[in-house]
């Protein structure tokens, strides 16, 4: 804030001495399909029997992951990631396992808990209409607070996700300066990465940011800072059947 009390519109980007960073959202999962179809049919579907951490990919999701691996393998040698860090959730780990099979010589992945999806607590894997049916007071609170700031009982808000992603990225940059990293994670994590890299004072998105399944988002480094290169790139998924992420 300036001395006259006005807020500044200039963000302060953090020092992140990576050569480059790629982030991918996992391929299409079973829960993606259930949520998408529930929204289309306008029904409070509660058919998911998995725990959040164990939700697997669909057949299409595995095809998307293989296409991702081929895309990474085709990158010029100096542009390929030499470090991979993965969310502990099954759909992210499966995405990387399939992608690595399509990329001869792919590095082994580390797993970090801070790259997990946004936790929804008491409403784990419940569709929005199911939440409205079971907890109408929480649905009203969510609408009043706003999607970005809403924290479900026992869960996280998007700012909570951003805090842990900031901690992770700071540690990654300190441990792997000059390296090119690939993060295999979730839409909330990809959005949080963009905010953290943009820097202190960056406002939250005005509306929900769509991160397609198996899409790539990239930043290039200059030895000190990371700068956006591309966002939500799905060119490698051309020709695959299916509607993609909800």
pTM of structure: 0.93
User: Over the chain (246 residues), what is each successive 10-residue block's mean pLDDT?
Assistant: 56 96 98 93 86 95 98 95 98 98 96 98 93 94 94 97 98 97 98 97 86 98 96 95 50
Would you state the pLDDT for residue 114? 98
What does the alpha-carbon distance between residue 70 and residue 236 come to, in Å, rounded to a whole number?
8
Would you state the pLDDT for residue 49? 82
Would you state the pLDDT for residue 47? 83
Would you state the pLDDT for residue 10? 82
Which residues, in sequence order, are bridge partners of residue 84? Answer: 109, 182
Question: Nearest to residue 23, comparing CAs of 243, 164, 203, 212?
Answer: 212
Q: Token pair of 195, please?
A: 């905010």
Question: Nearest to residue 181, comparing CAs of 198, 163, 195, 168?
Answer: 168
| Sign of the dihedral through C-alpha 54, 60, 64, 66 | positive
Would you state the pLDDT for residue 2? 43
Q: At CA 81, angle to CA 66 and CA 166, rounded to 5?
A: 105
Would you state the pLDDT for residue 206? 80
Would you state the pLDDT for residue 245? 39
Q: Where are the domains of the chain?
A: 20-237
Indicate the CATH number of 20-237 among 3.40.640.10, 3.30.70.20, 3.40.50.1240, 3.40.50.2020. Answer: 3.40.50.1240
């Amino acid at each position: 804030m300036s001395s006259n009390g006005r807020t500044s519109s200039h963000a302060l980007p953090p020092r992140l001495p990576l050569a480059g960073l790629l982030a991918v959202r996992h391929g299409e999962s079973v829960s993606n399909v259930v949520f998408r179809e529930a929204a289309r049919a306008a029904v409070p579907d509660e058919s998911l029997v998995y725990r959040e951490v164990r939700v697997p990919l669909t057949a299409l999701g595995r095809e998307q992951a293989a296409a991702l691996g081929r895309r990474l393998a085709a990158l010029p040698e100096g542009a390929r990631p030499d470090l991979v860090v993965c969310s502990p959730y099954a759909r992210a780990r499966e995405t990387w396992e399939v992608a690595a099979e399509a990329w001869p010589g792919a590095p082994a992945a580390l797993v970090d808990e801070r790259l997990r999806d946004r936790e929804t607590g008491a409403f784990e894997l419940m569709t929005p209409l199911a939440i409205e049916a079971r907890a109408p007071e929480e649905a009203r609170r969510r609408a009043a607070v706003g999607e970005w700031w809403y924290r479900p009982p026992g869960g996280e808000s998007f700012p909570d996700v951003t805090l842990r992603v900031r901690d992770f990225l700071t540690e990654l940059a300190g441990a792997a300066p000059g390296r090119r990293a690939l993060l295999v994670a979730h839409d909330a994590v990809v959005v949080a990465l963009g905010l953290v890299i943009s820097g202190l004072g960056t406002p939250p998105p005005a509306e929900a940011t769509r991160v397609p399944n198996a899409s790539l988002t990239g930043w290039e480094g200059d030895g000190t800072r990371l700068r956006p290169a591309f966002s939500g790139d799905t060119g490698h998924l051309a020709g695959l059947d299916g509607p993609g992420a909800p």
